[in-house]
């Protein structure tokens, strides 16, 4: 995967994290929040975060090897 694609993927992952955090806030504000949904979204946020960190580490590793980013 090229650097440009990796950066786009990272941006999309952080966008998804923001969307899920908004969903959680909205659901928690509800009179009877669905804690199953909240748990699911939090699990997805963790997965998105791990994926983004992996892509960022890959970009950092390429920088250290002297490749342009």
**What pTM does this model have?**
0.84
3-29 vs 35-64: helix axis angle to the nearest 10? Answer: 160
The pLDDT value recorded for residue 66 is 67
Measured distance CA(42)–CA(50) in Å, rounded: 12
C-alpha dihedral, 48 to 50 to 52 to 54, nearest 10°: -150
pLDDT by 10s per residue, the chain, length 69: 788 999 999 999 999 999 999 999 999 999 999 999 999 999 999 999 999 999 999 998 877 776 655
Q: What is the maximal distance between C-alpha atoms in the chain?
A: 54
pLDDT value of position 29? 96
């Amino acid at each position: 995967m090229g650097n440009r694609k990796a950066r786009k993927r990272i941006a999309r992952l952080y966008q998804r994290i923001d969307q899920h955090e908004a969903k959680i806030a909205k659901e928690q504000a509800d009179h009877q929040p669905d804690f199953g949904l909240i748990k699911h979204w939090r699990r997805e946020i963790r997965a998105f975060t791990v994926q983004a960190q992996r892509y960022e580490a890959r970009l950092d590793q390429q920088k250290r090897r002297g490749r342009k980013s």
